[in-house]
């Protein structure tokens, strides 16, 4: 308890002596009249030396003049304050070195005289720490600057790479599928600038019918899935490869989409496929021709051979009997040669049809007569008791059509109907004219065509699997189809295995002759 003045003085004295802050009292002239040990020690003086100094002795030379002014001003208007606010203050030590300090000023009047009290703190350590902090800060700032430059450089590099991205664009889309970034050589080629696109919507640029799928695919990428799909845009095909771009918190708010124009590759691919298909078709054709030729040529050739060698024999021992036999063999040779010639003719006629060497020759013909004529011709190859029944409801006898072509078609269909049905079966021919069209049909009760073979019927040398024991080259229907194409007509096959086959033709005919 401070119960008297003496006690108080003692406490104050002890406080001053033990204080880490320097404490100086000076008079109006600036002479030091009292100081504590911390003050003299701070300036490297002994207490005795210290109390002979003036305040200016503790101020570095360059500030002394100004300090004297400040001190005079203070003497005139003394207040309690910190000294040199906003300024850096320095003290001068006995050894001539300077050190940073903070000073608090106060004053008292003692026996009519002004005494100024200064509380001085050595802030060398504080300054050092401040300096260190400042340096650290500087270093940090420098690093940030460097990183920013590097980032800008790499961003520039990315932009250059993106701008020169060939045959397409590199895009970044936000969640609404608006462009955030877009660059690529294709933009330049289309005369679009990246600035025009950024902020606009990608989906709205697409054709209405592909918008939904494109949107669905791209929105899936925001769920973390990488996607690849194709779209058509302005006569081009693009391959879109999209990947998510997660941010620092792993949220996907943007996606990267690389758009590549693959039209050229696609075209090349399609052409290669086409060429391959053609090649395959050609190969099949070749092998079918080889098997047909080896099969169909063998019979006539072997009979030619055997007949020729028999002829040779008869020639050696001539007799009446031999002459008769020779005749028989000569006629067999002739018929075999005819057979071969027919096959080759068929083959050649396809070639002629395909190269457009056969032209259509429209004339007025009597349809019923032409059909009867054909039936008559075919009766030579008809099987035992096969019957051909012809029924035509066309009132007009005459129609304008290429009679030669039509007869060829009819002969081919009739020969099939006869060849692929049994003895004693019936073959029906029906015809009618309606709406400028001739409806013609040949129906038989024969072996029919297996379902799996139906779609191949008009391919060259193609023969159904159920007719291998019946002669044929597989060219007849191909020729029929080509002729019908010339006439602008259509053919349809209705067939059931072991029940029968109906071949239906629809051929456009001339106006004048449709009155039925």
Of 45, 55, 66, the closest CA to residue 103 belongs to 55
Is residue 478 part of the contact set for Mg ion (CB under 5 A)?
Answer: no
- C-beta of 475: minimal distance to ligand ATP in Å? 4
From 10-18, 202-210, 389-397, 447-455, span contacting ligand ATP (CB under 6 A): 447-455
Which partner in ligand ATP, Mg ion, none is near 91 (CB below 5 to 8 A by kind)?
Answer: none
Q: Which is nearer to ligand ATP, 110 or 298 (CB)?
A: 298
- 28-31's contacts with Cβ under 8 Å and 24+ in sequence apart are 28/75, 28/113, 28/114, 28/116, 29/54, 30/54, 30/55, 30/56, 30/68, 30/71, 31/55
408 binds ligand ATP (CB under 6 A): no
Name the segment binding ligand ATP (CB under 6 A); options: 49-57, 187-195, 396-404, 457-465.
457-465
Give the bridge partners for 399, in sequence order. Answer: 365
Q: Which residues contact 418 (CB under 8 A, 6 or more apart)?
A: 378, 381, 382, 383, 386, 427, 444
Nearer to Mg ion by Cβ, of 21 and 497: the residue is 497
**Those residues with Cβ within 8 angstroms of residue 353's Cβ, 6 or more apart along the chain or in another chain:** 479, 482, 483, 486
Q: Which is closer to ligand ATP, CB of 441 or CB of 478?
A: 478
Out of 168, 184, 472, 489, name the contact with ligand ATP by CB under 6 A.
Answer: 472
What percent of the chain is helix, strand and coil (3-state, nearest 5)? 50, 25, 25
Residue 326 tokens read as 């020779």
Instruction: Determine the interface stretch with Mg ion among 185-193, 245-253, 305-313, 471-479 (rule: CB under 5 A).
Output: 471-479
- Least Å distance, CB 462 to Mg ion, is 11
From 180-188, 213-221, 364-372, 476-484, give the range in contact with ligand ATP by CB under 6 A: 476-484
409 touching ligand ATP, by CB under 6 A:
no
Q: Kindly state whether residue 420 participates in binding ligand ATP, applying the rule CB under 6 A.
A: yes
Q: What is the contact mask toward ligand ATP in residues 315 to 354, using x (rule: CB under 6 A)?
A: -------------------------------x--------
Q: Which residues of 408-425 are buried (b: 16+ CB within 10 A; e: fewer)?
A: bbbbbbbebbbbbbeeeb
500: β partners: 496
List the beta bridge partners of residue 81.
105
Interacting stretch for ligand ATP, rule CB under 6 A, among 22-30, 34-42, 330-338, 413-421?
413-421
Nearer to ligand ATP, 40 or 416 (CB): 416
Using CB under 5 A as the binding rule, whether residue 446 contacts Mg ion is answered as no
Torsion on CA atoms 214, 217, 218, 219, rounded to nearest 10: 120
Asked if residue 476 binds Mg ion (CB under 5 A), the reply is yes
Cα 21 from Cα 407, distance rounded (Å): 133
Torsion of CA 15, 16, 18, 19, to 10 degrees: 100
How many chain residues are in contact with ligand ATP, going by CB under 6 A? 21
474 interacts with Mg ion by CB under 5 A: no
d(C-alpha 443, C-alpha 425), whole Å: 11
C-beta separation of 45 from 35 below 8 A: no
Which is nearer to ligand ATP, 36 or 412 (by Cβ)? 412
Query: CA gyration radius for the chain?
Result: 58
Is position 467 an interface residue for ligand ATP (rule: CB under 6 A)? yes
Determine which residue in the list 35, 501, 507, 509 makes contact with ligand ATP, applying CB under 6 A: 501
Task: Using the rule CB under 5 A, give the single segment among 126-134, 181-189, 226-234, 411-419 that binds Mg ion.
Answer: 411-419
- CB-wise, 366 or 415, nearer to ligand ATP? 415
Query: What's the rounded Cα separation, in Å, for the pair 96 and 43?
Result: 10
Q: Is 444 in the site for ligand ATP (CB under 6 A)?
A: yes
Candidates 40, 194, 386, 416; binder of ligand ATP (CB under 6 A) is: 416
CA 175 from chain centre, in angstroms, equals: 20
DSSP 8-state assignment for residue 152: H
Which residues does residue 102 pair with via DSSP β-bridges, in sequence order? 121
Q: Indicate the DSSP class of residue 423.
A: T
Task: Please select the residue that binds ligand ATP; options are 36, 171, 254, 473, rule is CB under 6 A.
Answer: 473
CB of 420 to ligand ATP, least distance (A): 3
Pick one of Mg ion, ligand ATP, none as the site partner of residue 67 (Cβ within 5 to 8 A by kind): none
Q: CB nearest Mg ion: which residue?
A: 476
* Contact pick of 67, 71, 463, 482 for ligand ATP (by CB under 6 A): 463
User: Which one-letter DSSP state was computed for residue 54?
Assistant: B
Compute the least distance from the CB of residue 501 to ligand ATP, in Å.
4
Contacts of 401 (CB under 8 A, 6+ apart): 362, 363, 365, 367, 438, 487, 507, 509, 510
- Does position 257 interact with ligand ATP (CB under 6 A)? The reply is no
Pick the binder of Mg ion from 416, 421, 495, 514 (CB under 5 A): 416
List b or e across 118-129, with b for residues whose CB sees 16 or more CB atoms inside 10 angstroms: bbbbbbeeeeee
Choose one: 301-309, 348-356, 367-375, 415-423; the region binding ligand ATP (CB under 6 A): 415-423
Query: Is residue 447 a contact residue for ligand ATP (CB under 6 A)?
Result: yes
User: Given the rule CB under 6 A, which residues bind ligand ATP?
Assistant: 346, 416-417, 420, 444, 446-449, 457, 463-464, 467, 472-478, 501
User: Given the rule CB under 5 A, which residues bind Mg ion?
Assistant: 416, 476
């Amino acid at each position: 308890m401070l119960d008297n003045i003496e006690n108080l003085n003692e406490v104050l004295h002890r406080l001053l002596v033990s204080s880490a802050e320097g404490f100086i009292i000076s008079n109006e002239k600036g002479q030091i009249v009292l100081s504590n040990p911390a003050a003299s020690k701070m300036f490297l003086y002994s207490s005795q030396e210290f109390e002979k100094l003036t305040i200016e002795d503790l101020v570095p030379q360059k500030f002394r003049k100004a300090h004297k002014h400040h001190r005079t001003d203070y003497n005139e208007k003394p207040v309690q304050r910190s000294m040199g606010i906003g300024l850096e203050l320095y003290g001068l030590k006995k050894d001539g070195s300077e050190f940073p300090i903070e000073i608090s000023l106060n004053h008292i009047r003692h026996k009519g005289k002004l005494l100024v009290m200064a509380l001085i703190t050595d802030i060398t350590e504080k300054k050092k720490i401040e300096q260190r902090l400042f340096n650290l800060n500087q270093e940090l700032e420098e690093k940030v600057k460097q990183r920013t430059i590097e980032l800008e450089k790499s961003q520039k590099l990315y932009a250059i790479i993106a701008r020169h991205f060939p045959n397409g664009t590199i895009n970044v889309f936000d969640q609404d599928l608006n462009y955030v970034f877009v660059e690529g050589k294709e933009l330049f080629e289309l005369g679009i600038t990246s600035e025009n696109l950024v902020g606009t919507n990608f989906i709205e640029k697409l054709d209405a019918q592909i918008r939904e799928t494109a949107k669905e695919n791209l929105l899936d990428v925001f769920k973390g899935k990488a996607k690849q799909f194709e779209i058509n845009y302005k006569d081009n095909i693009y391959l879109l490869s999209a990947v998510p771009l997660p941010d620092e918190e792993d949220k996907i708010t943007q996606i990267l989409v690389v758009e590549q124009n693959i039209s050229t590759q696609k075209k090349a691919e399609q052409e290669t496929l086409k060429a391959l298909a053609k090649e395959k078709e050609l190969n099949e054709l070749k092998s079918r021709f080889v098997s047909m030729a080896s099969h169909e040529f063998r019979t006539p050739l072997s009979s030619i051979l055997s007949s020729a060698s028999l002829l040779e024999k008869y020639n050696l021992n001539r007799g009446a009997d031999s002459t008769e036999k020779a005749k028989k063999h000569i006629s067999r040779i002739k018929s075999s040669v005819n057979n071969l010639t027919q096959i080759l003719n068929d083959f050649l006629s396809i070639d002629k049809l395909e190269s457009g060497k056969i032209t259509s020759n429209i004339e007025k013909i009597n349809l019923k007569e032409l059909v009867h004529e054909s039936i008559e011709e075919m009766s030579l190859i008809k099987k035992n008791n096969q019957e051909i029944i012809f029924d035509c409801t066309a009132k007009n006898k005459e129609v304008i059509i290429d009679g030669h072509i039509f007869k060829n078609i009819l002969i081919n269909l009739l020969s099939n109907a006869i060849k692929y049905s049994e003895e004693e079966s019936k073959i029906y021919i029906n015809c009618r004219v309606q709406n400028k069209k001739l409806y013609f049909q040949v129906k038989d009760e024969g072996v029919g065509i297996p379902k799996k073979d139906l779609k191949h019927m008009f391919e060259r040398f193609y023969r159904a699997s159920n007719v291998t024991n019946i002669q044929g080259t597989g060219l007849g229907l191909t020729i029929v189809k080509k002729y019908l194409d010339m006439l602008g007509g259509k053919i349809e096959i209705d067939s059931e295995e072991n029940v029968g086959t109906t071949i239906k033709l629809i051929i456009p005919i001339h106006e004048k002759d449709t009155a039925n």
